[in-house]
Amino acid sequence: MTDDSLVVTDLHVEFSGFVAVGGVSFDAHPGEVRFLIGPNGAGKTTCIDAVTGLAKATGSARLGERELLGRPVHKIVRLGIGRTFQTASVFDELTVLQNLDIAAGRHRPSVSLLRARRGVEESIEQALEETGLAGELATPAGILSHGQKQWLEIAMLLVQDAKVLLLDEPVAGMSQDERTATGELLQRIAAKRIVLVVEHDMDFMRRFATRVTVLHQGKVLSQGTVADVQADPRVQEVYLGTAGAATTAAMSAVPEPVAGTRQGQED
Amino acid sequence: MHVDALIAPLLNGSAQGALLLLAALGLSLTFGQMGVINMAHGEFLMIGAFAAYLVQQVIVASGLSIPVALPVAFGVAGLFGLLLEVTIIQRMYRRPLDTLLVTVGVGLILQQAALQIFPSQGVPVEKPAWLDGQLNILGYEWPLRQLFTILLAAVCVAALSAWLKHTSFGRRIRATVQNRDLAETSGISTRTVDRLTFFTGSGLAGVAGVAASLIGGTNSQMGAQYIIPAFLVVAAGGIGQLKGTIIAAWAVGVALSYFAYWTTGSLAQVLAFILVIVFLQLRPQGLFTVRTRSLA
Amino acid sequence: MTKPKPWLSLSGIGVFAVLLLAVAPLVLTDHWLNNLGKYCCWAIAAVGIGLAWGRGGMLVMGQGVFFALGAYAMAMHLTLETAGDRIPGFMVLYDPLAPLPMFWEPFRSAGFTLLAIVLLPVLLAGLLGYALFKRRVKGAYFAILTQALAVALATLISSTIRETGGDTGLSDFKYFFGFVLNDPANKLMVYLIAAALLIVCLLAVWQLYRSRFGELLVATRDAEERVRFLGYDPANVKLVAFVVSALMASIGGAMFVPIVGIITPAEIGAAASVLMIAGVALGGRASLFGPALGAMAVGWGQSSLGSTWPEGWTYILGLLFIVVILFLPNGLSSLPARFAAARRRPAEQPAPAIAVAELEEVRS
Ligand SMILES: Nc1ncnc2c1ncn2[C@@H]1O[C@H](COP(=O)(O)OP(=O)(O)OP(=O)(O)O)[C@@H](O)[C@H]1O
Ligand SMILES: [Mg+2]
């Protein structure tokens, strides 16, 4: 393991008796686009919640040498962990620039908060460039399209200079072109950072994943490259309900859950 | 034998706690249901007290008038609550803090109206003769008036929880409290449920008002005295938690009366306030919580 | 950008300053100038409420507490100054032999009093805010707890007649830091101080609103948890706004005393605290001028209608809460933007520019 990897070992999360995550281990390194998939309720979001301090968990989640579990949310963020949410959450009343400016703020001394912003910082300009939002600088985030909001969230993680990006269903509700653009963006980002994506969209996963972990009922079902996972009969069973009957081709025919209708039902 | 110095506040406090519980019960129901603080809840309590007075104008025999006043107060205060829900509160969904302020305005108007309709020093509510005596339990004399408040609270709690548990309307209310969106999509008319909840919650305030009028008479400010302690009870007990509300009401009542016994009434209020703050430090969600999943 | 014309707001403050500091003393009678001074005190507290509630989303329903800290600190000093070496008259009335209560002693010093007016609210708000915000107490809970504090303090003061003057309060001040309060020139000076402090407070929030802190505060109000995930502790953000608003309430209270000449628990309890909110709601909670102007309007209503037609005034106040919050949640100051939007709408779809303009006034 390199110094700057995210290593999760034997993660347990319980909600008043119900085991949502029961002993999950995985790791993620810079340079790969890491995927976490699984049927509804498998515990994917809960894993991210645990790593970011939102859900109380036992086990271990380390970034390099540092243990993350047990720290308050904002301290974990300051260690370089950034996340997005299943429902896009940006500050609707603020402009794109203001959203990014706030995200960039944790590196500034607190006194500088009392001054007004002048100009646009370079890191913000870069992030705008990367995510194709440069034209929307002064647009209130609330009136961005759904896809743009998700890009804004990614841009916020970039200016925040997160070492780890945990993305919860980043392409839900996006068109095919937008998905491709997002996937390519994630590949670029992953060169220097750890990118962990939770997704339902199998097609997206196949095109962009370097390694995949499949969760089912709070446990790791399978782990490996896209091909490994697709060939795993247990995965096929979970996704199709009929053991063995599935082929790789069949799995790729798994209908995507209709994105959008899922939005807002959780979180 | 007379009640010991140390026991007296306990009984006093239990009665005070029962009164608080009556006031808090309806608040807890409406707050739990809609996430809305109805600051006019105290004024609904006042309406219940004045209803008791008006009933006594018709039925002079106080032995009979109070039992009649209880359901009347429930109905009258409930109707006021229903009216408030239909005219104002239903327009203000997802703006809970604003609803709080709007109902402050409603409370002001109701107070002023009461002040103009009834004399400013308030009107007396005659206690029935059967409340005057004392009851000897375990060698101590217990004033019947206090036992009556405790009994009334117990009956209301029992009725409310039976209603919530065993009637289909009650189940719908509980479903809506736990997950409004889900309840809506599973075919529950949350509008009807909201109205019924508001009627019931406000009606309970009316019942509390009758009990309060037997202890402290009536005046236009009486609701204002109850709303904040009642809210603290709801907060300390945990939203929508009947069990928590009961324990918290009793604890606050007893604490207040011991503090008042050791110090002065006003210092007791300050101490009780500090107590609740400290308690919320330890358990910000109150005694009992429903676990739900949300970002907050 | 969001703050479309910061310099326009600044010149607005300038005009306001000229009106208050130069024009008003020339055109108003002594009586009305004194009243205006009183409204300024309420307006100072209201500016703080605008910051905490309008921008920070914390419904502070107990600003009377901080108003009281400033007011009673000032009143104790003025009472001692008036009494000279003797025990204040009202205390002698209740117990001729007992000495001055311990906590009065330091308020003989003018320096200590001024320091107390600043530090007491900062300490109390800091402590209370820290305890509540760190435990994520917010919304209605926060609102009612602050109001409960106001009720508790008012009750405490009412019941400690000998120590605080009880319900009759503290009054009959003859001197204000050495100046004879009866002298019209000195009265003018006290008024000018209050008006100037109001301008200073407006300048302070003007800078806060256009600063990054102002943006962070709005962000915290709208999505506290999201802010946490950007690496900030929202409790600290809210704490700063709450403390500043408490300080402003205290300053307002301190100036209230020499201008009005009396402070009683009725000026700081639940009803008074709610009255402070009323003005802010009327004017526009999240706007720069709304809270101050609204507070002045309500203050005028309170002191004129409130004494000539008390019943009617209470009804008006109640209706004000209902109508404004229900139909005009951003107060009167949102009317121009609404009209502008209404006029433009038939022609074109609501352009981003409108939304940007409306950012200033934000729904809660
Ligand atoms: N705070 C909570 N309280 C109780 N149960 C919870 C809580 N959070 C999650 N759960 C439960 O834990 C399980 C895992 O949920 P999680 O959201 O992690 O699944 P997921 O894999 O992200 O599913 P989806 O694909 O639908 O987003 C679910 O059964 C969910 O109901
Ligand atoms: Mg999920």
Out of B52-56, B100-104, C243-247, give the one with best mean pLDDT: C243-247
Residue with the smallest CA separation from ligand 1 atom 29 is A41
* pLDDT at residue B261 greater than cutoff 70: yes
- Are B84 and B179 in contact, with CB atoms under 8 Å apart? no
* pLDDT at residue C355 greater than cutoff 50: no
The answer to whether residue A249 is domain-embedded is: no
Average pLDDT in the A49-75 region?
92
- The model's confidence at residue C181, banded by pLDDT at 50, 70 and 90, is very high
What's the pLDDT tens digit per position in A114-167? 888 888 888 899 999 888 898 888 899 989 988 899 999 999 999 988 999 999
Rounded (10°) CA dihedral B95, B101, B105, B106:
50
Structure tokens at B125: 């509510």
- Domain enclosing residue C94, as ranges: 6-267
The answer to whether residue C102 is domain-embedded is: yes
Mean model confidence pLDDT for chain B: 85
The answer to whether residue B218 is domain-embedded is: yes
Q: Is the CB of A44 under 6 A from ligand 1?
A: yes
| Ligand 1 atom index nearest CA of A218 | 14
What number of other Cβ atoms are within 10 A of residue B295's Cβ? 15
Residue with the smallest CA separation from ligand 1 atom 10 is A20
Average pLDDT in the A17-26 region?
90
Domain limit, last residue, from A159, A183, A210: A159
- Whether A15 sits inside 8 A of B291 (CB atoms) is yes
Looking at CA atoms only, how far is residue B278 from chain A in angstroms?
A: 21
- The model's confidence at residue A2, banded by pLDDT at 50, 70 and 90, is low
- The model's confidence at residue B120, banded by pLDDT at 50, 70 and 90, is confident
* pLDDT at residue A77 greater than cutoff 80: yes
User: Greater confidence, C164 or A86?
Assistant: C164
Average pLDDT in the B147-158 region?
93
**Which ligand is nearest to the Cα of residue B291, counting in written order?**
1
Average pLDDT in the B114-129 region?
85
- Whether C229 sits inside 8 A of A95 (CB atoms) is no
Average pLDDT in the A2-15 region?
87
- Domain count for chain A, please give it: 2
| Nearest-by-Cβ selection for B266 from C159, C224, C329 | C159
Interface subset of C 291-330, CB within 8 angstroms of B: 311, 314-315, 317-322, 325-326, 329
Closest CA to B162 of B225, B236, B242: B242
What is the spatial distance between Cα A162 and Cα A164, in angstroms, rounded to a whole number?
Answer: 5
- Domain count for chain C, please give it: 1
The answer to whether residue B243 is domain-embedded is: no
| Ligand 1 atom index nearest CA of A55 | 1
Neighbours of chain C (3+ CB pairs under 8 A): A, B
**Which ligand is nearest to the Cα of residue A42, counting in written order?**
1
Closest CA to C259 of C87, C78, C114, C122: C78
The answer to whether residue B15 is domain-embedded is: no
Q: Is the CB of A41 under 6 A from ligand 1?
A: yes
- Are C204 and C245 in contact, with CB atoms under 8 Å apart? no
Q: DSSP H helical segments within chain C, as ranges?
A: 6-18, 24-27, 30-49, 63-83, 89-94, 110-134, 139-159, 161-164, 184-210, 212-222, 224-228, 234-260, 270-283, 290-308, 310-327, 335-344, 352-359
pLDDT at B288: 65
The answer to whether residue A264 is domain-embedded is: no
Looking at CA atoms only, how far is residue B101 from chain A in angstroms?
A: 23
Write the CATH number for A8.
Answer: 3.40.50.300
Lowest mean pLDDT among A13-27, A100-114, C281-295, C297-311: A100-114
Residue with the smallest CA separation from ligand 1 atom 1 is B293
Q: Find which of B83, B97, B116 to mutate to test the C interface (most C CBs within 10 Å of its CB).
A: B97
- Whether B270 sits inside 8 A of C59 (CB atoms) is no
pLDDT at B122: 80
What is the spatial distance between Cα B162 and Cα A193, in angstroms, rounded to a whole number?
Answer: 57
* pLDDT at residue A234 greater than cutoff 50: yes
pLDDT at B100: 92
Average pLDDT in the A51-76 region?
92
The answer to whether residue C105 is domain-embedded is: yes
Looking at CA atoms only, how far is residue C224 from chain B in angstroms?
A: 8
* pLDDT at residue A245 greater than cutoff 50: no
- Whether A267 sits inside 8 A of B291 (CB atoms) is no
* pLDDT at residue C359 greater than cutoff 80: no
The answer to whether residue C358 is domain-embedded is: no
Contacts of C211 in chain A (CB under 8 A): 113-116
- Domain enclosing residue B214, as ranges: 22-222
What's the pLDDT tens digit per position in B194-225? 898 899 999 999 999 999 998 888 888 898 88
CB-based contact (8 Å) between A92 and chain B?
no
The answer to whether residue C315 is domain-embedded is: no
Q: Is the CB of A80 under 6 A from ligand 1?
A: no
- Domain count for chain B, please give it: 1
pLDDT at C364: 33
CB-based contact (8 Å) between B2 and chain A?
no
Residues A144 and A12 in one domain: no
- Are C36 and C191 in contact, with CB atoms under 8 Å apart? yes
Residues A131 and A144 in one domain: yes
pLDDT at B72: 96
Q: Is B219 helix (H, G, I), strand (E, B) or coil?
A: coil
Model ipTM value = 0.87
What's the pLDDT tens digit per position in C136-156? 888 888 998 899 899 889 988
Mean model confidence pLDDT for chain A: 84
Closest CA to B5 of B115, B140, B105, B98: B140
What is the spatial distance between Cα A67 and Cα A69, in angstroms, rounded to a whole number?
Answer: 6
The answer to whether residue A5 is domain-embedded is: yes
For tokens 């390694």, name the residue: A211
Average pLDDT in the B48-66 region?
89
Interface of A with C (CB under 8 A): 52, 72-74, 77-78, 82-83, 89-95, 97-99, 101-103, 105-106, 108, 112-117, 138-140, 142-143, 156, 160
Residues A53 and A109 in one domain: no
Q: Is the CB of A133 under 6 A from ligand 1?
A: no
The answer to whether residue A26 is domain-embedded is: yes
What is the spatial distance between Cα B263 and Cα B5, in angstroms, rounded to a whole number?
Answer: 14
- Are B34 and B45 in contact, with CB atoms under 8 Å apart? no
CB-based contact (8 Å) between B108 and chain C?
yes
Residues in chain A: 267
- Whether C318 sits inside 8 A of B106 (CB atoms) is yes
- Domain enclosing residue A146, as ranges: 95-159
